[in-house]
Amino acid sequence: MWRETLWGAVESELAQARREGLGYAEVGGWAVTESSRFTSEGLVLALAGYSLGRLLGGTLGLTTATVRHSSSTILRRLGGSDLRLGDRTIPAYYDPHYDCEMELLRFDSRHPSPRYASLVDMLKEKLSDVVVVTRHDRHRAEPDYELALAAAV
């Protein structure tokens, strides 16, 4: 029922990224182990995503997040928002693999929550000093530093 709307919403995000000269990332599922819940680790991980996006020149992104354990709520507080197509919001859905309700959230690395902007800037500075070791791929026309930097984080 939502297939065409979801497809259109993702295509719209990709088109915006192209128009504005931004990167685009699918962040995968945001998950924090039970032992790390209620610690700063999850917060730092999510904010580092904003920082990396900024370091790479600005990035729009999409992620899935569970409603269980308030992951989607936390990501919204950091700056995530509904994935939309026009006035239609992509609703939460049930994922039988994880046996929980999931939400699709969009991000713009240029606009984290103002409450966390200084942390994003600090993490960006720290990430800019990360030493990246990568293997030269002679089959690619451009260097794969983005992938190597993401792996180093």
User: Domain coordinates of the chain in residue numbers?
Assistant: 3-152
Percent of the chain with pLDDT over 90: 61
Residue 66 pLDDT > 70: yes
Q: Say yes or no to pLDDT of 115 above 70.
A: yes
In the predicted structure, residue 150 carries a pLDDT above the cut 60:
no
What burial letters (b/e) apply to 60-84, b meaning 16+ CB within 10 Å? Answer: bbbbbbbeebebbebbbebbbeebb
Q: pTM of the predicted model, to two decimals?
A: 0.78
CA 24/CA 61 separation, integer angstroms: 5
Token pair of 33, please? 């182990």
Q: What is the DSSP string of 68-109?
A: GGGHHHHHHHHT-EE-EETTEEPPPEEETTTTEEEEEEEEET
Q: What is the mean pLDDT of residues 126-139?
A: 76
| Region of residue 128 (left: phi > 0; alpha: psi -120 to 50; beta: else) | alpha
Average of per-residue pLDDT values in the chain = 86
In tens, the pLDDT along 14-32 reads 999 999 999 999 987 666 6
